[in-house]
Every structure is written in C-alpha cells, then in structure tokens.
Amino acid sequence: MSTKFLITRAFSVQLDKEDALASFRKEFLFPTFGKRTTYFCGHSLGLQPKKTKELMLTELNDWSTWAVEGHWKATNPWLTYHQSFAKPLSVLTGAYPDEVVAMNSLTANLHFMFASFYRPAGKKIKIITEAWNFPSDRYALESLVKLYGYDPKKVIIELKPAKKNTQLSTEEICACIEKNKSTVALVFFNGVNYYSGQAFDMAAITQAAHLAGAFAGFDLAHAIGNINLHLHDWKVDFAVWCSYKYLNGGPGAVGGAFVHQQHGHDKTTPRMAGWWGHDQNTRFNLEGGFKPLSGAAGFQVSNAPIMNMVGLKASLDLFMEAGWPAISKKRNTMFGYMLFLIKALCTNDHKKQFSIQIITPTLANTHGCMLSIRVHQQKGKELFDVLLKKGFMLDWREPDVIRIAPVPLYNTYQEVYSFVLELSKHAVLVEK
C-alpha cells in the first residue's frame, strides 16, 4: 500500500480532493479548545453530528406537545423508536436486523449477556480472555464468577502475548482454547484491543471455542463502526458495544447487543427478563409468565431511552448515507498513509528527544483506524504534552502509549500529514 504514497503536503491535498467522503466532514462539529485543533480521539469519544441538535429539539418539542401520547404520535413514535436502529446496526455488524438491538449501556449489556451465555457445569467452568482487556470488562468477568462461588484467579485464564511481543497471535489463542477444551465454558475477547489496536480474528476464535464446546462472545466497543464485521457468518454467539466512540452517539450514549439467530429465536435461551423484551402484543397486560420477543429484541429489559438515542440516530443516518464500503476503504487508506509517513519521516536524527515504536499490527484485517505508538524511556507523557500543545488532540494510555485515530467520516489526509510532520520533529521510529 505504501508504494502509492508520496512524502509531500501537495500529495495529502490531492488525496483530500479525491476523497469520496470529504463532504461528510461538514456534518460534524469540531471542538477548538481556544485554538486550532486536530481531533484524533474518535476512538474515545466521536464528534457530534450537526443533525443531533435538530433531532433532539424534535423530541423535546414532541414531548411538550404530546406528553404520554408521544409514544404513539411523536414524529418518531417512542414506542417503536429503537426499531429504526436494527437495519443500520445490522449493516455495521454483518448481522440480520433481528440479531441486533440498541439498548442499555456496554457494561450493563455485558452482564446481561454473561447471564445468558456463561453456563458453568461440571468441569466446564473456565473463561478464556485477554490479559490486556479493558478494566471494566475484567470487573464484569470477576464479579460474574464470584456470583457462582468461584475464585476468579482459578477460573479466568488471561492470555498475554509471548515475551517481548505486543500482539496476541490467533495461534496462541486457539492453542489455549484447545488445551483447556475440557474445562472452558466461555471465550470472551475484544474485537479490537483498546490499548494496542489489534483486531482479533473473531471467526477463528469463535470456531475454536465451538469445537471446545464453549460459547464465544466479543466486546465491540473499538470494533463497531471501525472494522469489517460478519458476526452472523462467523457464528459468534453474542457481542456488545457502546455507541459513543466510532458511532458518534454522544457521551454515555445507548449501547447495543448482538445475539445470533440460533439463540435469539430459541425461546428457551436463558436471559435476564424485562417487560420491553416481552411479546409486544401483550407487553402492557402486565401478566406473569415472560414471553420473549424473537431475536435480540427479546433480550431487552427496559423501554428505550429516547433522549439518549438521538445522537446515535443522527450518526447512523450518516453512516448509511456514506455507505460502509466507502468508509472501510478510506479507513484502510488513511491508516496506510499514516503508517507510510511515520516510517518515512520519523527517521534517525540525534537531535530528536523521543524514540517511538508502533505496537499496532499493520497487516490487512489486523487493525482498525487507530494506531498506537509506544514511547520509550518513560517519556511518553512528555511527548503527548508536546503534541497537545501543538494542537493535536490525541489519547494517552498509561504507562507509555499514545493512541491516534484518524476517523474516515470527519478526518482528512492533510491532518494526518500535519500530525506526522510534527511528530517527526520530535521522535524517531525504532525497531522492537
């Protein structure tokens, strides 16, 4: 891919002129922080679509106009509001519309899915996961096994990369699953690791889990709206995500969940039940005896938080207008361009204060748009602060990593060029 690129600002200008998604940049609001700022933090909190305010005012006006009757008479009736998310979420996850649902928050959904798919029996009680998991996911796993009376240290197997490696190979993961096939009940990974940016081979992990008689689930917080997903075809059992990162739903926006049809259409699949997952024809009868809706919708507990879904609706409209193939193509081109520039410009110079290492995998299908660089000699925060003062809004992760995420819908190639040019003034790229 790097052979296509040139080390000139003019080339970045040309890439922007040829960008099929360039017009979508104007659909977002950019923070200034009192000065000109380049925003590369879409992996942490996506930008606000301009349409969000308009849609929010619509809901507020309908609330004032209709009050309770807004459930039926609002511009977007609240009773069925969540149903409009099924189609776009199915496109972004590679699923059928009845396999996805917008509901709750990420960790809440994680607890609900664990309640359904962690079914310890006999010797099969163990959970295999990644050691570099996001803390919230680790808390959820630990509390889960404690509820069953198990010791997390004895039940949860946390995989670490081989010594001196920054990535966990598919072979290592599958070998661990095979080794523990008589005791593993659940395999749970992130789609994309929040720290390194590694995209895991979810198809291979799922297949290995099923061969071992275990369920396979994934946290897609850093994957949905970022990498290509084919959850149905991969036969993933369940997945959860948040909507405030690449999906631009806003701070604390509604999360989502995927449940494969083989489980969603099986009314005997265990679940934590609530009235919004009940058969909608008798939902308001308030009778005993839970009758789940078919599909992922049957895993809902509470009615949809309308005001908390508006930002996601505005963003998903843009995703559908832009088209996922175009977004995915630009993601790969932009990542490749940034990688090319770092390798070309961050070259050896004795005057440079920092040495950096790329820890994100760079082969096709092993990453999303985020690139993580490790700063050596415990100087990472120092370099981060230098770049921040120059107007680049990045993300710092202890103890030594800076995360940069050019997002296809609103970042430009010129921004990537300017960032790497500034980085090259201070840092030299070194081997592992």
Locate the domains of the chain by residue range. 2-30+325-429, 55-319
> Which residues have a Cβ under 8 Å from the Cβ of 399 and sit 6 or more positions away?
378, 380
Residue 432 banded pLDDT, cuts 50, 70, 90: low
180: CB partners within 8 A, 6+ apart: 126, 128, 157, 212
Question: Taking 70 as the threshold, does the pLDDT of residue 74 lie above it?
Answer: yes
- The pTM of the full predicted model, rounded to 2 decimals, is 0.96
CA quadruple 72, 78, 82, 87: dihedral, nearest 10? 50
Region 278-285: mean pLDDT is 90
Q: What is the pLDDT of residues 287-322, one digit of tens each?
A: 789 999 999 999 999 999 999 999 999 999 999 999
What average pLDDT is seen over the chain? Answer: 95
pLDDT for 142 equals 97
pLDDT at 165: 81
pLDDT value of position 1: 44
Q: Which residues have CB under 8 Å from 282's CB, separation 6+? A: 291
Please tell me the CATH code under which domain 55-319 is placed: 3.40.640.10
Q: Tell me: domain 2-30+325-429, CATH 3.40.50.150, correct?
A: no
Q: Report the range of poorest mean pLDDT among 68-77, 155-164, 223-232.
A: 155-164
Q: How confident is the model at residue 132 (pLDDT cuts 50, 70, 90)?
A: confident
Q: What is the pLDDT of residue 2?
A: 44
Q: How many CA atoms lie within 13 A of 421 on its CB side?
A: 12
Number of CB atoms found within 10 A of residue 432's CB = 9
Provide mean pLDDT across the span 225-254. Answer: 98
pLDDT digits (tens, 9 = 90+) for 2-42: 458 999 999 999 999 999 999 999 999 999 887 789 999 99
